[in-house]
Structure 1
């Protein structure tokens, strides 16, 4: 195992960076879109229910099957990987964003209105900061999921550590096949831990002490 890793260290590090970069970029874009969608839907019970249903149904779709379906229209490479990772990243964050915004006490919003604050100002100064811990929890859950799904995206020749996993599985029993799979799996787990630590640090920096759980 040591020999396998040492001989391919540069490839492993490059694939790890690609994997981490794919997840981070999709997670950031998904967070922005999810908060925007939640802001447009959380005040309406019907729209909230529709968003929850879409999120619940979307999470039941097998990621491997979705990647396979996207190969025909999008081809192989980065694009289907980005679409699949971004799609699944959006769903947990959207659910948490709606829950967090709905849970903001109505009396605080009314008090802000009484002080003459407009709707946008109330959202960015009152509602979003109070909902942020719940939203960040959704981002953390989504980040852990996306590390695994990004590995599966290697089926469509997407970037990342999944290439080691699929390469090893395709020649299971051959030379270095097990080492290849273990390298990919351990690398994904380590990246997931690093990402979670970074998100915990982000929470420390962005969540006021008074509302930390």
Structure 2
């Protein structure tokens, strides 16, 4: 079976899987960003806590995604839940590191000025620190997006949603009809989704970053 014929015959299934894959990654990125920024807000003022958070992030990234996904079967079973847990875990690590760097890099004089104007600690964080650190944080989000696109594909091992199903289906019957086409379809689909999501994040960055900071 030729690749073009394979794609045409299963176009609706491929599109549905692609939308599932993109949805899994996008929602996991949002959740990971919230978690990472909250953690960074708690630790970035302490050099010791920053070091601990960065060490945890570095160690976490060394864990094989396939192994972690397999371990999630025991507590969560098969399906969407273990896939979300693993994708969020890996997505949060680069974002956490960048969020700490971004928040720690905010000029202390600006914080003191805001405090002198009577702003609360929460107000300073939301209106001064977070906007100034946002470009660095968003850079971490883009790195995570590219990384977890592949992790989400591996999540098909525990019957997670997305294009990874095509890859595992093809690998399970190598030598059979349509096996290579299935693997190629899943792999190319993941790459295309990663490019699309990166473009979307670039657009979000331009919309959510003030012109003064971009300049």
- TM-score for both structures, normalised by structure 2: 0.97
Provide the residue aligned with 2:27 in structure 1.
Answer: 25
CA RMSD of aligned residues (A): 0.8
Instruction: Please list, as runs of the form range in 1=range in 2, the aligned pairs for 1:4-43 lying within 5 A after superposition.
Output: 4-43=6-45
The answer to whether structure 1 residue 136 and structure 2 residue 141 are counterparts is no
Greater CA drift, 130-139 or 62-71 = 62-71
Aligned residue for 2:60? 58
Shift of 1:118: 1.5
> Residues of 2 paired with 1:113 and 1:18: CA distance?
45
CA apart distance, 1:166 = 0.5
1:126-161 CA-partner distances (Å, limit 9, x unpaired): 100000000000000001111100000001111000
**Is 1:151 paired with 2:143?**
no
- Structure 2 spans left out of the alignment, 5+ residues: none
| Aligned mate of 1:175, from 160, 174, 177 | 177
Q: Give the match for residue 76 of structure 1.
A: 78
Q: Which runs of 4+ in 1 moved over 2 A?
A: none
CA distance in structure 2 between the partners assigned to 1:72 and 1:123 by the alignment: 39
Per the alignment, residue 94 of structure 1 pairs with 96
Q: Structure 1 unaligned runs (5+)?
A: none
- How far did residue 73 of structure 1 move? 2.2
TM-score (norm 1): 0.98
1:174 partner SS: coil
Secondary structure at the counterpart of residue 104 of structure 1: coil
**Alignment correspondent of 2:124:** 122
Cα shift at 1:208: 1.0
- Report Cα offsets for 1:92-139 as digits up to 9, x if no partner: 100000000000001111111122211111111110000000000000
